[in-house]
């Protein structure tokens, strides 16, 4: 479809060039008859020149409309491609949604969080127990106890 439109645009361009060549010839004829003082012929040629300029303007308008149609077609084609891409991504999201069960995932994450909290508490208790078994602290306690017993 767009190749046919491009073909029409080239045909319009050829028509415009042909009319412009004719305008140049008409202008030369007007100058030639103006030197001879043929006013009637100059008027007829001037009307022809004005009509040809109007024709060129109409051809330019037609070319612009064809160009507009081509751009609209491209826009529609791009929209159709975009719609297809969105449909595919929607299908992928639906598949992912079916694979991932949100309530089950939430339960698993909650259980995991509880287990991690338990581990954190156990780690703290273990650290506290290990600190109480620290040999440096024990020596101080023994020294303190010894001093206490000695003072008595």
Instruction: Say yes or no: 121 and 139 in one domain.
Output: yes
Q: What is the domain extent for residue 34?
A: 1-100
Instruction: Say yes or no: 141 and 83 in one domain.
Output: no
User: What is the tens place of the pLDDT at every residue in 72-97?
Assistant: 999 999 999 999 898 998 888 888 77
Instruction: Say yes or no: 25 and 59 in one domain.
Output: yes
Regarding predicted confidence, which is higher, 58 or 152? 58
Query: Cα separations (Å) of 39 from 13, 32, 44, 99?
Result: 33, 11, 9, 90
DSSP-derived secondary structure letter, 100: S
Q: At CB < 8 A and 24+ separation, what contacts does 56-62 make?
A: 56/16, 56/19, 56/20, 56/23, 59/12, 59/15, 59/16, 59/19, 60/16, 62/12
Instruction: Say yes or no: 95 and 106 in one domain.
Output: no
- C-alpha of 17 from chain center: 40
Instruction: Say yes or no: 120 and 147 in one domain.
Output: yes
Instruction: Say yes or no: 15 and 66 in one domain.
Output: yes
Instruction: Say yes or no: 141 and 151 in one domain.
Output: yes
- C-alpha of 57 from chain center: 37
Q: How confident is the model at residue 147 (pLDDT cuts 50, 70, 90)?
A: low
Tokens of 41: 């012929």
User: What is the tens place of the pLDDT at every residue in 40-57?
Assistant: 999 999 999 999 999 999
Instruction: Say yes or no: 113 and 95 in one domain.
Output: no
Give the three-state DSSP class for 46.
helix
The verdict on pTM exceeding 0.75 is: no
Instruction: Say yes or no: 54 and 39 in one domain.
Output: yes
Answer whether 49's CB lies under 8 Å from 26's CB: yes
Number of domains in the chain: 2
């Amino acid at each position: 479809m767009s190749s046919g439109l491009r073909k029409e645009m080239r045909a319009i361009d050829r028509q415009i060039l042909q009319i412009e060549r004719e305008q140049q010839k008409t202008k030369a004829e007007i100058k030639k008859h103006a030197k001879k003082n043929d006013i009637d012929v100059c008027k007829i040629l001037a009307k022809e020149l004005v009509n040809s300029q109007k024709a060129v303007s109409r051809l330019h308008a037609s070319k612009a409309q064809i160009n507009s149609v081509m751009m609209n077609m491209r826009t529609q084609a791009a929209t159709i491609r975009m719609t297809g891409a969105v449909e595919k991504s929607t299908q992928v999201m639906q598949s992912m949604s079916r694979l991932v069960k949100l309530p089950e995932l939430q339960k698993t994450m909650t259980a995991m969080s509880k287990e991690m909290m338990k581990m954190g508490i156990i780690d703290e208790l273990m650290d506290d127990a290990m600190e109480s078994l620290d040999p440096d602290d024990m020596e101080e306690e023994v020294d303190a106890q010894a001093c206490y017993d000695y003072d008595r």
